[in-house]
Amino acid sequence: MDLMKAVAVSASGMKAQSMRMQIISENIANADSLQSSDGGPYRRKQIFLKAVKNQQGLQQVNISKISKDYTTPLKQNYDPSHPLADKSGYVSYPNVNTFVETTDMRDATRNYEANMSVIESAKEMMARSLDLLR
């Protein structure tokens, strides 16, 4: 049934957006973390999505990779008295912009809701089809 294919595509979109929200939440939570397990301040994580065809030939959304953002420079603040200051007196802060992360979170939420709406519509159409068959 074609409605089941629509549900499968939307479910893959919901899964991808859910993971995207998780990464964004992690970025926001670590926006002030000056020390990370890698050493140095926390680096913003990025998620990359791609469309792939599954066995049934449906275009679905998959996560291609999750990586740290090394292209955006760390924020520098002059504070020679800080224990983590470098030789020049600057402290490196994470490259997380909470405004950008909040905007991305809002976008991911809207995409998740749109996919949920497609699933709800498909479910309703299936129920109506069954009612017609009775």
64-107 confidence digits (pLDDT tens) = 999 999 999 999 999 999 999 899 999 999 999 999 999 999 99
Higher pLDDT among residues 88 and 131, named by residue: 88
Q: What is the pTM of this model?
A: 0.85
Q: Which of 57, 52, 50, 59 is nearest to 9 (CA)?
A: 59
15-74 pLDDT tens trace: 999 999 999 999 999 999 998 888 889 999 999 999 988 777 788 888 999 999 999 999
Tally of CB atoms within 10 A around 59: 10
pLDDT at 26: 96
The domain total for the chain is 1
Q: Count H helices and E strands in the chain, helices first.
A: 2, 4
Q: How far apart are CA 101 and CA 42, in angstroms?
A: 15
pLDDT at 6: 85
Q: Which of 45, 68, 56 is nearest to 12 (CA)?
A: 56
Give me the residue label for tokens 């405004």: 99
pLDDT at 49: 93
Range of the domain at 50: 2-133
For residue 16 the two structure tokens come to 């991808």
Contact 113, 48 (CB under 8 A): no
Contact 73, 90 (CB under 8 A): no
pLDDT at 134: 77
pLDDT at 133: 82
